[in-house]
Amino acid sequence: MNPNATSSRLLKDQVILITRAEHHQASLRQAIEARCGSWISLPLINIARLSDAELQQARDKIQELDRYDIVVFVSQNAARFGAELIANYWPQLPIQQRFIAFGQGTAALLAEMLAAKVEFPVDGSDSEAVLRLPALNAVAGRKILILRGVGGREHLAQTLSRRGAFTDYGELYRREVQQHNGSHVATELRDRGLSAVTVHSGESLAALGELVGAHLLELFTMPLVVPSERVAAQARELGFLNVHNAGGAGDEMMLAALVKIYSSGH
């Protein structure tokens, strides 16, 4: 048998739940379909751009972009909204400035929107992986702008500050839990023959547990693919028993984890 034909059917008869925001699902859906799997969309976190008034703090930082040695984009949403603002104020980017992205997808989006060189970790897509980049090791006295959503983890800024850097935030969007009926969702997932679940953040995981945890107990024994060891630990604390760390939130890493699960019979 052609091994390529076999690999292209590794998700045959599997039904994968995708929980990330709707506008980020397309490529993962296509990749699952290409391996003869099917998917269910259940967006758990909605991304809302901040109002013009709320964005003023980020605009102020971006208008002074040349003051910063390094700009970090923590997500594709930060890249999209941030690059739009940067392009408005800086038709020519400041020289000798480093752009750093959480993950390959975020880096690719930035490179396309700003025609800039972007660094990203290849061994993960969370704060821990970004902090391992050589560019963020010797940062004493450096000024770093972190573009992100409202709130979120403080680990990146706190660690950079301990390393001697001066950090600022530019907040661009808000994450909101999308409302669903947990009982109805559980019934649909059971009727569709759900096989596995993907979550792309700790927030999505918490929302999933709260939404259907009481209605679909078998969810806790299904394969659950998460982007990092931090989220994996959170999943285990919530009671999930079959957790797989993809090592990043990118589609390729998520898909590779799914393929590994079903090729090894887990």
Same structural domain, 54 and 101 = yes
Which residues 6+ apart lie within 8 Å of 7 measured at CB? 35, 259
Same domain, 62 and 164: yes
- Kindly state whether residues 65 and 167 are assigned to the same domain: yes
Dist. CA 161–CA 258, nearest whole Å: 37
Residues 38 and 103 in one domain: no
Give the predicted TM-score (pTM) of the model.
Answer: 0.84
Taking the C-alpha atoms of residue 212 and residue 194, their distance in angstroms, rounded to an integer, is: 13
Q: End of a domain among 121, 141, 176?
A: 176
Query: What CATH number is given to the structural domain containing 251?
Result: 3.40.50.10090
Query: Rounded to 5 degrees, what are φ and ψ at 248?
Result: 170, 160
Buried b (16+ CB within 10 A) or exposed e, 222-233: bbbbbbbebbbe
pLDDT at 266: 56
**The pair of three-digit structure tokens given for residue 216, joined into one six-digit string:** 């679909």
What parts of the chain have a pLDDT lower than 70? 1-8, 265-266
- The CB-side HSE value for 165 (13 A sphere, CA atoms) comes to 24
Q: Where are the alpha helices (DSSP H) in 118-228?
A: 127-131, 155-162, 182-192, 202-212
Beta carbons within 8 Å of 215's beta carbon, 6+ residues apart: 182, 183, 185, 186, 187
Domain count, the chain: 2
Q: Please check whether residues 137 and 208 belong to one and the same domain.
A: no
pLDDT score at 1: 35
Task: Answer yes or no: do 172 and 57 share one domain.
Answer: yes
145 and 204 belong to one structural domain: no
Q: Which domain covers residue 12, as residue numbers?
A: 3-44+178-263
Sign of CA dihedral 255, 245, 176, 118: negative
User: What's the rounded Cα separation, in Å, for the pair 226 and 204?
Assistant: 10
HSE-CB of 17 using CA atoms within 13 angstroms = 28
CA dihedral angle for residue 240, residue 245, residue 249, residue 251, rounded to 10 degrees: -100
Please tell me whether residues 126 and 208 are part of one structural domain: no
Q: Are residues 97 and 162 in the same domain?
A: yes
195 in the same domain as 110: no
Cβ(160)–Cβ(136) under 8 Å? yes
Whether residue 13 is found in the same domain as residue 66: no
> Could you tell me if 69 and 169 lie in one domain?
yes
Query: Domain ends where: 127, 158, 176?
Result: 176
Name the domain boundary from 145, 176, 207: 176
